[in-house]
Each structure stands twice: as C-alpha cells, then as structure tokens.
Amino acid sequence: MRRAACLLALLSVAAPDVAGAAPVPEAQVEALFAHAVRDPLEARLFLRAMPKGGDLHNHLSGAIWAEDYIAWARADGYCLGEDGVSLAPPPAAGCAKGRSLEQGAGDDTGESDRLIDALSTRGWQMGIGRNDVSGHTQFFRTFGRFGAVAGRHAGDMLAALRQQAAFDRLTYLEIDHNTDVLSLYALQAGEAPMVEADIPATFAAEIAGVEAMVVQGSAQLSRDEAEAARALACDSAPVPACTIRVHYLFQALRALPPRMVFRSLMLGFAAAAKDPRWAGVNIVMPEDAPVALADYDLHMAMIRFLATRYPQVRRSLHAGELAFGAVPPRDLKDHIAKAVAAGAQRIGHGVDIAYEEDAEATLRTMARRRIAVEINLTSNDVILGVKGAAHPVNLYRSRGVPIVLSTDDQGVLRIDMTAEYVRAAREQHFTYRDLKQAARTSLELSFLSGASIWADGRVGVAGKACATLASAPCRALASTSEKAAAQLDLETRLAAFERDTIATARTQSMSNASNRLSADHKPHRQTGTGTEETVQPAAGAPRPATLMGAH
C-alpha cells in the first residue's frame, strides 16, 4: 500500500511539453521508468512500446535474420556450400549429396542450428567457438555466407526490415544499401594502382559512365521497393510497416582496391545528387583491414574531392570502428578527426575517440558543428569487445556531442532497436529523458529533407511555427518538410505513449491497492492442521498487478 501510495504521488507531478502543447506527464514517466529499468524484462516491456524515431545506421543485408535467408535459399533450390555453412546457388546437376537444404539444414535440428550460428553471431555470443574465432571474424565472415541469397531478395529484405521497424515503434529508416547493378559496376573498375593526384583525371574519365549507371540503379531500386510494397500489401490493406519512412545511404567498400573504391564513391555521390531516395553516402567494411588502413588518407581525399563536385550530398562516414589492442596504437590516432575534416555530418561508431591524438579538439568540433555519433552498443561489444564503462558514448555526451542509437546489423547480431535502448538504459545509465532526446536527435540529424520543428537545431526547443504542435503553422510546416512531418509524427506518438503509460500505471496502482485491502479483510478458516489459510478469491477474480516494476 505504501509503495502504491508513493507511486501515485509520483503520478501527480506534471511536466509541460517542450513544444508548448498540452502538458504531458514526462516527469511521471521518468519516475516510472526508473523503477522499470531495474529489471531487464520490465525495461523491455516499457521500451518496446516507446516511439524511437529513426535508425540511421542499418545495413540492409546484415539486418536480415539467418532463418529468413535459409527459408529463401530453400525456396530457390540453393545448396549448402562446400564448407557446409554457406548458402550457394545450385549447379546444373543439382545439389550434391548431403548438400541439399531440404535434406540437411531444412530437416535436421542440429544442422539447422549449425547453419544459423554460421550465418550470425548467435553461437559466438553464447560461447560457441570463442576459443577458435574472434567476434570480429565471426561477424564479418557471415556476409559472404549469405551474400548469394541476399542478392536475389532485396524486395523481401526491405519488407522484412520495415516490419521489424514498425514492431520497434520506429518512424524512419536510413538504410545502408546499394542496388546490385551499381555494386557490380563498381567492381569492374579494375585493380590498377591509384594515388591522390590521379583523382581529377579519373573522375573526368569515369563520370559519363557513372551517371548512365545511376539511371539503371534507380530503376532497380524502384523494382525492389515495388516488390517490398507488394509483399506488405501496402496498396490493399496497409500495415504499419508501410508507413515507415525510408531513405538509403550508398556505401562505398573501403577494403577494395582504390579504383573500385573511387568508382563506388562516385556512384554514391552521383546517385544521391540525382535520386532523392539516396539521402547520402557512406564508406564501410572493416576499418582495420590492411587495405583500408593503408588507403585511409586516399579515401578521405576522394571524399573531399567529390564533395566539391556534389556539395549538396550528405556524408555519414564509418570512422573509429577500432579498438585499443586490436590494431597498433598508431592506427588509432586520427581516423575520426580525418573523417570530420572530410566533411562528415555524422560519424558511424566513433569507438576509438579517446585514443586519438587530438581527441579533445575533435570532440569540440563535433559538438560545435552538431556532428552526431551513431552509437551501436551491441555491435561494438561483439566486434571490438568494447562495452560498459569502456564505451565512449558517455564521453561524447559529456562533451556535448549529439548521439543517436542504432542497430548496425540487427539480423547478424540477433538484436533489435528495443534491445539497444534497453542496453543504453541498463549498461550506460540512460534515463527516459536521455532516450527521448536520442530519439528526437535521430530525426533532427537524419538526412531527411526540409526544415525542422526545433529552433536552430536545439532539439526539444520549439521553433516559432511549432510553439504549439497542433497549430495550423506547425501542420503547414509538416506539409512541406519531410523532416518536420516525421518529427511531428514522433512527438504525437511520444505524447500518446506517455499518457498511456501513466493511465496504465494508475490503473495498476489502484488495482494493487484494492486487492491488498481485499486481502487484508478476507475471512479466514481453520485448516485441518490447526493453521490459518486465507480463503482464495473465486475463479476469474482480479489478481494483484505489478506497477511498472515496483514489486
């Protein structure tokens, strides 16, 4: 009763909505979350229902779960590869004996488990094979094992990712994805050496072919999106997945020969300049690969050059996905600083910031320019072994650098966005307000087009048009701005979530109090053993409820 009374007192505290709308119970939700976060399952229940804004760091092929890849491979008649743990196209004569998915992984539980573990980090995370392979190796080798199937199912993959996003209460996805026709064209650039002085002449020689290929790439993306819409039945009976806003980041592959990297960057910049569905460019693959380390400065020079030709194209660059001890200290000293100097508007990972030579100056620059860091907690743990207090997320926050939470490769890592929110709360001590700010920041610093509802980029401080969210000027802004529309949608959902959370807590609290009073005044009877036994309520009578984790 006392606990219920205390929590009812918490529920009486009111907090105004920052955007000037009707007061919403943020303070009460914060108090309830402080109780819920003590228990991982209560935290999961609480945070799955929370609207989360955008996932800005999400690789399409890595977002798909192994079970989906196996099902698609089986339907396509694919075989187990010669290694027994990859998915391969069938030869003309069909799958060799013992290599059929139907005969092997399709029917036998042990074979299925082995294949799922090979196509993800599931087994490694549960301790299987940790003495034989690092999380880094296990993670990156999965992509080659399911790559042949991924190339055939882009539409299915987009549909699956949108469904998961809707389940996680996301508003927006910024997906790292290249269409196959563009990826293949990049690989045809050859392996001839290239230095920084070659960049202008190579651009001049390549640009006509690149721009012609972008037209084909856009056409393929349209086909893939139409296939995803059909799979979701968006035209007939739309489901929440159909309402998820989606853009793409073209990803250059940094562990390839330099001419391939440059052609892929050219394709990315040209695609983003021509087709608004590509919101920007990225550069990916293991940053500690020998070629990626050796050519890092060359890659940054390529990006700087292309930014002068396509100044409107946004850049989110993977940088600092390195860990002390995983590479020599000299390789940790400046990658984030160089990415910032190359014009990165967001940094992917940024894990090694504390080991950079001039880290404080870089942090000040990032804070001043509002360069966000895309935080991938589970990914950084599995691939780099960086977690808990050793993770730099709170270092960034302490220096005023904006952060967003993201999944990286949720299928390979066997996670979702809700899991990352739970981890941020329980491992990194994020409060409800911190998580709410991260959700808002994910839309503010996304590459969505148009003006923001917030004043001068100050997330949570309403601009003039949206001093009242329901006002006509705010609705007018949302009608002309993709970003403002997504932000207004998030604010509406957050307000409803907070009201519903408080209403549920009040109902549970009153139920607890009523049941406790009822229990205290129930008649008793003597048992045959001479002890007292409380008379049980009739079947179907209400049982005591839990108040958001306060037991």
pLDDT tens digits, 130-183: 888 999 999 999 999 999 999 999 999 999 999 999 999 999 999 999 999 999
- What's residue 105's pLDDT? 46
Burial (0-12, 13-18, 19+ Cβ within 10 Å), 63: buried
Four-point Cα dihedral 439, 445, 449, 450, nearest 10: 90
- Sequence-distant (≥ 6) Cβ neighbours of residue 52 within 8 angstroms: 168, 169, 170, 171, 405, 417, 418, 421, 439, 442
- What's residue 507's pLDDT? 83
Query: In which residue are the tokens 């066997």 written?
Result: 414
- Residue 329: count other Cβ atoms within 10 Å of its Cβ: 11
Reference 305, options 361, 258, 348, 347; nearest CA is 258
Q: Do residues 49 and 169 make contact, with C-beta atoms less than 8 angstroms apart?
A: yes
Helix (H, G, I), strand (E, B) or coil at 60: coil
Q: Which residues of 479-515 are buried (b: 16+ CB within 10 A; e: fewer)?
A: eebbbbbbbbbbbebbbebbeebbeebeebbebbbeb
Q: Do residues 306 and 272 make contact, with C-beta atoms less than 8 angstroms apart?
A: no
Cα–Cα distance measured from residue 232 to residue 162, given in angstroms and rounded to the nearest whole number: 9
Cα–Cα distance measured from residue 508 to residue 308, given in angstroms and rounded to the nearest whole number: 59
Cα–Cα distance measured from residue 460 to residue 16, given in angstroms and rounded to the nearest whole number: 12
What are the tokens at 244? 């998820």
Low-confidence ranges of the chain (pLDDT < 70): 1-24, 103-109, 510-551
Pairing assessment for the beta strands 454-455 and 458-462 based on DSSP bridges = antiparallel
CA 84 to chain centre: 30
Domains and CATH numbers, the chain: 1-36+449-507+543-551 (no CATH), 154-448 (3.20.20.140)
DSSP 8-state code for residue 134 = -
Query: In which residue are the tokens 């990826």 written?
Result: 183
Give the predicted TM-score (pTM) of the model.
0.89
Q: Do residues 56 and 315 make contact, with C-beta atoms less than 8 angstroms apart?
A: no
Q: Do residues 357 and 333 make contact, with C-beta atoms less than 8 angstroms apart?
A: yes
- Sequence-distant (≥ 6) Cβ neighbours of residue 415 within 8 angstroms: 378, 407
